[in-house]
Amino acid sequence: MNNGIAVVLVVEDSAIIRMGAVDLVLSAGYEALEARDADEAIRILESRSDIDLVFTDVQMPGTMDGIKLCHYIRERWPPVKLIVASGATILEESNLPMGSRLFSKPYDDHTIADAMARLLASDVSIRPAVEPSC
């Protein structure tokens, strides 16, 4: 979080769709960052420690698609929440890291904003199930 405001990284290769997703994030009250592919997203994640959620497309150019990006993020930055949107790829949430959410394109903005709010308010599968004892 940045000054108490959640930071969302939008990863989308289509400039028009990316702009719409950034507008969605901003209208939901979050700070928005943007990347056009997984490689740029990883560079941003490496340079910032305040990213709370990544909202990514599946199919995009570069060294990895959105599915591989999600697994890489979960491995390297476990607390980061993940939302995946796909327009062409048929896949199941079981192909994604635990706690990720999958939506088909075109998606409903309110549905995505609600999913962001729920994920950001939860600690789905990223924290120990048992609190350490004092």
Q: Which two tokens stand for residue 123?
A: 């600690």
Residue 66 has pLDDT above 80, yes or no: yes
| Contact (Cβ atoms closer than 8 angstroms) between residue 19 and residue 65 | no
Mean pLDDT to the nearest integer, 42-57: 96
Residue 131 has pLDDT above 60, yes or no: no
| Contact (Cβ atoms closer than 8 angstroms) between residue 103 and residue 74 | no
40 in any annotated domain: yes
pLDDT, averaged across the chain: 86
132 in any annotated domain: no
Residues ≥6 apart with Cβ < 8 Å to 98: 74, 124, 125
2-16 confidence digits (pLDDT tens): 677 899 999 999 999
| Contact (Cβ atoms closer than 8 angstroms) between residue 17 and residue 11 | no
How far, CA to CA in Å, does 123 sit from each of 42, 44, 99? 22, 23, 9
CA–CA distance, 25 with 37 (Å, rounded to integer): 18
Four-residue CA torsion sign, 61, 101, 46, 121: positive
61 in any annotated domain: yes
Q: Higher pLDDT residue, 45 or 129?
A: 45
Whichever domain contains 113, its CATH number is 3.40.50.2300
Q: Which domain, by its residues, includes 48?
A: 7-121
Domain count, the chain: 1
Q: With bands split at pLDDT 50, 70 and 90, how would you rate the model's confidence at 130?
A: very low
Residue 117 has pLDDT above 60, yes or no: yes
User: Which of 26, 99, 15, 29 is CA-nearest to residue 57?
Assistant: 15
Mean pLDDT to the nearest integer, 80-84: 95
- The pTM is what? 0.85
72 in any annotated domain: yes
Residue 128 has pLDDT above 80, yes or no: no
